[in-house]
A and B are shown apart, each in its own frame.
Chain A
Amino acid sequence: MTVYAAPGTPGSKVTFKARYENWIGGEWVAPVKGQYFEDITPVTGKPFAEVARGTAEDIELALDAAHKAAPAWGKTSATERAAVLCKIADVIDANVEMLAVAETWDNGKAVRETINADIPLAADHFRYFASAIRAQDGDHAQLDDDTVSYQFHEPLGVVGQIIPWNFPILMAVWKLAPALAAGNAIVLKPAEQTPVSILVLLELIGDILPPGVVNVVNGFGLEAGKPLASSNRIRKIAFTGETTTGRLILQYASANIIPSTVELGGKSPNIFFSDVAQEKDAFYDKAQEGFVLFAFNQGEVCTAPSRALLQKPIYDSFLGDAVTRAKKIIQGNPLDTDTQMGAQASNDQLEKILSYIDIGTKEGARLALGGERADLGGDLTDGYYVQPTIFEGHNKMRLFQEEIFGPVLAVTSFTDYDDAISIANDTIYGLGAGVWSRNGNVAYRAGRDIQAGRVWVNNYHAYPAGAAFGGYKSSGIGRENNKLALGHYQQTKNLLVSYSENKQGFF
């Protein structure tokens, strides 16, 4: 067990600056209007740094820098860009603990997760896209004896990216890595709930990149996000967030006739067929863990398995075992490596979760575990902690239909395969899903029949680089984490070449 020293106390792995400006053109630039806002750590509910409150003027400065950098960066070879991405990955690897503590302090998540998942995965995603761009070929076709069609990948130019707060560094990297690999310059706006950790990363990697290739402007959605998303100086806008803002961003993109990829959340079913309980063996233990993963990252994951579907014959016994297991979740100081569940990311997030616990109770759902704010005492007493919560109910309840983004699980039963698929697909979302069965045929068919972009079969919550990630239905448009993402950041140039000496003969 290790308890990392809190930032601002002796021995902390990270020392935050009192104030962070915008990162534009390879240097720190004060916001034009001179305004800042406080970044609050959810661990204690107290502010720990000031961050630039960027506006349209700062977005324009960042776009100026990006447009200045884009032509040369876009002409670099894939070899050069891949080398830059690998250097970034090396620096991240060399600073895992520092970045992990920064991320935990900014977001509230348990440090065991930032150390073992968020930060190492960030490094690996850079390496994956370094490899993917090296391996990407163009295309050609000999259309007839004299005519050849060549297809080239070209960068889009300057792109905008708006990042969520649940994995502040990793979500930024999911978007930065393919965009950089493809040769684009970027203006990125982090979430205002978690603006600092990405700037700590920029302090480390900023001088590896040519000035202006990556620019970060912080601020509120209306003041900084909208001027970026609606600008006619970007060639693409990428967004992860919720449905209404996603639609608004698609509307802005339509006004400029530019592409947009949006990842908009989910209400992912986690289906357990009866045969998982056929033996109380290692696989049963794994399936039980798969159920309890609703509490991973405090439930603040777009793909959180927030609906558990249990087949009737095992409903009582499986749920009983799982509730016992969920009771053992260790909630505590997020900087303690033994802590399994940290703080929710913000006060309004806490309030929203509690409002859903309220409506769940009013709708008649039965509380099997938790259901209240957790007071961890001491310095943590004002932090944003919620007990792991399990409700039993039916799929038409709002608990089952809305993404709560907290450690709140809705459990129901199903009779047979068709019933399971019907309940699983009765949602407006289609981002993630889980299927658990010892029968490979059942697991395969269920995986194919569920309308979701990512179906975990006999596992959950793994996010390896290489496995395409994205939504069906109202969960969005586009795929990340796979070489497919390169296509979201590239133009296709077709050169149609005639090698004939003779005229076409029309005129």
Chain B
Amino acid sequence: MSTPTITAAVTIAGETVPRVELTPVAVDLLRSLWDEHGPLMFHQSGGCCDGSSPMLFMAGEFITSDQDVRLGQFDLAPTGAPSQPLDFWMSAEQFNYWSHTFLTVDVVPGRGSGFSAEAPRGVRFLIRSELMTTVTPFAVPAGTVGVEADAAAPIPA
């Protein structure tokens, strides 16, 4: 049976539409890394050399706080197997600029990635993005995002 895409369960209070998914190749890699390391977590990075990439850590290795947003929770387990929950986190300040996009975690050949767990396999997780059609379903506090309103602003001509 081929590996499915896995969509993260909604974890932001008041929201109803998922924000993150895994491609089948990402699912296969994550299951293999789970076998090697045990429970895992993602934290989306920003900036500099290896940034703007999702970093994979042993669950709890990276200490999250109120300054982080949990965008969703994957369950890596095949149907009927015990749950393998994997949270996807991002800093709240970064989320302010990312909240209008749906994120797909993919895998590409690559080398190096901060302390992310996949690097020794010669691959890198990569984010692909789609615009979410609207922010209306999301109960985002007023003034913290504002992307929808600004997106209507014309590009300078």
Q: Real complex partners, A and B?
A: yes
Interface residues on A, range: 35 or more
Counting CB contacts under 8 A, is B151 at the interface?
Answer: yes
Task: State the CA gap A192–B48 with chains docked (Å).
Answer: 15
Known: A222-B117, A351-B108. A364 touches B151 (CB 8 A): yes
Flag if A348 contacts B117 (CB, 8 Å): no
Chain B residues whose C-beta falls within 8 Å of the C-beta of A183 in the assembled complex: none
The chain A residue sitting closest to B42, CB to CB, is A244
Task: State the CA gap A405–B44 with chains docked (Å).
Answer: 16
The chain A residue sitting closest to B130, CB to CB, is A362
Flag if A403 contacts B155 (CB, 8 Å): no
Flag if A242 contacts B45 (CB, 8 Å): yes
Chain B residues whose C-beta falls within 8 Å of the C-beta of A398 in the assembled complex: 97-98, 101, 129
- Taking a contact as CB atoms closer than 8 A, the residue among A165, A312, A404 that contacts B52 in the complex is A404
Near B by CB (< 8 A), chain A positions 288-334 give 300, 302, 310, 312, 315-316
Which residues does B use to contact A, with CB under 8 Å? 43-53, 55, 57, 61-63, 91, 93-94, 97-98, 101, 108-117, 119-120, 124, 126-131, 146-147, 150-151, 153, 155-157
Flag if B155 contacts A348 (CB, 8 Å): no
Task: State the CA gap A426–B110 with chains docked (Å).
Answer: 32
Flag if B101 contacts A312 (CB, 8 Å): no
Chain A residues whose C-beta falls within 8 Å of the C-beta of B153 in the assembled complex: 394, 396
User: Which residue, of B47, B94, B128, has the highest number of chain A Cβ atoms within 10 A?
Assistant: B47
Task: State the CA gap A222–B55 with chains docked (Å).
Answer: 11
Flag if A358 contacts B129 (CB, 8 Å): yes
Sampled A-B contacts (19; CB under 8 Å) = A221-B119, A225-B114, A242-B46, A242-B49, A264-B47, A312-B156, A348-B110, A348-B113, A351-B108, A352-B52, A352-B126, A362-B130, A394-B151, A394-B153, A396-B151, A401-B98, A403-B52, A405-B51, A405-B52
- Taking a contact as CB atoms closer than 8 A, the residue among B43, B49, B62, B115 that contacts A300 in the complex is B49
Near B by CB (< 8 A), chain A positions 42-66 give 53
The chain A residue sitting closest to B126, CB to CB, is A351
Known: A247-B62, A364-B155. A347 touches B111 (CB 8 A): yes
Known: A241-B50, A315-B156, A352-B53. A225 touches B115 (CB 8 A): yes
Chain B residues whose C-beta falls within 8 Å of the C-beta of A242 in the assembled complex: 45-53, 114
Query: What is the CB-to-nearest-CB distance from B100 to chain A, in angstroms, rounded to a whole number?
Result: 8
Query: What is the CB-to-nearest-CB distance from A323 to chain B, in angstroms, rounded to a whole number?
Result: 14
Query: What is the CB-to-nearest-CB distance from B96 to chain A, in angstroms, rounded to a whole number?
Result: 8
Known: A243-B91, A244-B55, A402-B97. A355 touches B128 (CB 8 A): yes
Flag if A403 contacts B112 (CB, 8 Å): no
